[in-house]
Structure 1
Amino acid sequence: MSQALAQAFENLKARFKPNKVSETMTFYFSLGEADGQKWNMTVGPDACEVGQGKLDGADVFLKTSEDKFLDLLAGKWKPGVMDFMRGKIKSNDPTKLTVLKDCFL
C-alpha cells in the first residue's frame, strides 16, 4: 500500500465539510495497478467514509496516476478538458467530481 495515498485519503476525511451534499454518493479511485492504489469513498450530508479497494457500482469513478492524484490534492495540478481528452484523467461523470471539491476544499 502506498503510504502517501493512505495519508492523502486520511487527510481528505479530516477535511470533510458536512452539509455540502444532499444525498449520499460513492466514489471509486483507480490510481494505479497495485492493490494499494484502489480506494473508495462514500460522501453523505453528515459524514465521509474512506476505504481501500475497488467499489463496484460506484456513482463516480476517477482514474489517473497516483502522482497526478497527489498533485491534484496538493494544488499542483488542476485537470482541464485536454487532460481528460488525452487520458491523463478519466471519469464516468466529470461534472460530479465537483462534489469532491465542494466537500473537501
Structure 2
Amino acid sequence: MEMHAANAWSRTWGFITQSYKEMVEDDIQTRKSRVKVDLPSHFQTRVPSPAEKHIKVSPSPKVPQTAQGFTGWRSAVPSLGLECFGKVHKGRTSFLKEMK
C-alpha cells in the first residue's frame, strides 16, 4: 500500500512541488530587487553586550549523595534562591471581577 501511494503521489499532488519551486524563484528575485533603506538612529539596534557582564552565576554547593537530599538541594542555600530580586507580587483582583 505504501509503495502504491508513493507512486500515485506524484500524479495526484506533483503540482505542489512545481508551485513551490516557482515561489522560491520569485522570492529570490524580489530579494535581489529590494532597495536598502537606512533606518533612523532611534530604530537601529545595538550590539548586545555579553551575558557574563550582567549575569553572575555562583558555584553550586556540593551535590548530595542521596535522592532525598537531591530534591531542593540548591534552594536550601539562601544566596542561590530564585527570589534574589525580591518576592513575587500577585494581583489582588480577580479576572472575573474585572470583566464583570
TM-score by length of 2: 0.17
Return the index of the structure with the highest Cα Rg.
Answer: 2
Higher RCO (CA 8 Å, separation ≥ 6 residues): 1
Task: Indicate the structure with greater helix content.
Answer: 2
TM-score by length of 1: 0.16
